[in-house]
């Protein structure tokens, strides 16, 4: 059985941004001034097969941009960065958990990676193409053993900003 290849056009905004332009390979969006998960712009696809997902995303000045594994509004996990910090933010059965660490990069973008194997979701990033993946979060999300929603998210904390995404890759895992 071969798995259908997921492309950017098949991702749907659960919460739309203020403005967006996208084609089959890239997107440019502008956030609302204030938006936090689960009510921030999140571009999601759904998979019922284990996978690896990669996408290059811009680093915003404030707020956070990264990847989110999503089941429902009360069950999700995310890892994102801005110019000064990296954050994991998850909600399991309505109980939030947030951890923020200092972060900096001399790049404008990061290559994000997510792996899902029915039991757990791993989210990390690479600064350079050949760097090893820095796995930041490993999550076990209730209700996601058969399928999971996933994709990039865009949180803003008082100021709207423009974000970009490109180089989407989706690979079925064994």
Query: What sign does the dihedral 139-141-146-147 (CA atoms) show?
Result: negative
**Cβ atoms of 93 and 141 closer than 8 Å:** no
Q: Is the pLDDT of residue 22 over 70?
A: yes
Taking all residues of the chain, what is their mean pLDDT, rounded to a whole number? 93
Domains of the chain plus CATH, in order, are 51-172 (2.60.120.200)
Inform me whether the pLDDT recorded for 25 exceeds 90: no
pLDDT of 124 > 70? The answer is yes
Whether 53 has a pLDDT exceeding 80, the answer reads: yes
Q: What is the mean pLDDT of residues 77-99?
A: 96
CB 29 within 8 A of CB 154: yes
The model carries a pTM of 0.94
- In this predicted structure, what is the pLDDT of residue 10? 79
Closest CA to 89 of 107, 65, 55: 65
Can you read off the two tokens belonging to residue 41? 């712009």
């Amino acid at each position: 059985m071969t798995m259908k290849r997921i492309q950017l056009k098949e991702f749907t905004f659960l919460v739309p941004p203020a403005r967006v332009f996208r084609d089959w390979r890239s997107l440019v969006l502008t956030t609302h001034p204030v938006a936090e998960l689960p009510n921030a712009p999140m571009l999601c696809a759904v998979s019922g097969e284990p996978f690896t997902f990669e996408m290059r995303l811009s680093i915003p000045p404030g707020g956070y941009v990264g990847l989110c594994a999503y089941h429902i509004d009360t069950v999700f996990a995310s890892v994102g960065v801005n110019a000064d910090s990296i954050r994991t933010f998850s909600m399991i059965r309505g109980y939030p958990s947030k951890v923020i660490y200092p972060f900096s990069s001399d790049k404008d973008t990061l290559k994000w990676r997510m792996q899902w194997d029915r039991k757990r979701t791993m989210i990390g990033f690479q600064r350079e193409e050949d760097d090893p993946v820095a796995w930041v979060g490993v999550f076990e999300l209730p209700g996601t053993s058969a399928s999971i929603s996933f994709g990039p998210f865009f949180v803003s904390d008082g100021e709207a900003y423009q974000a970009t995404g490109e180089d989407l890759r989706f690979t079925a895992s064994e």
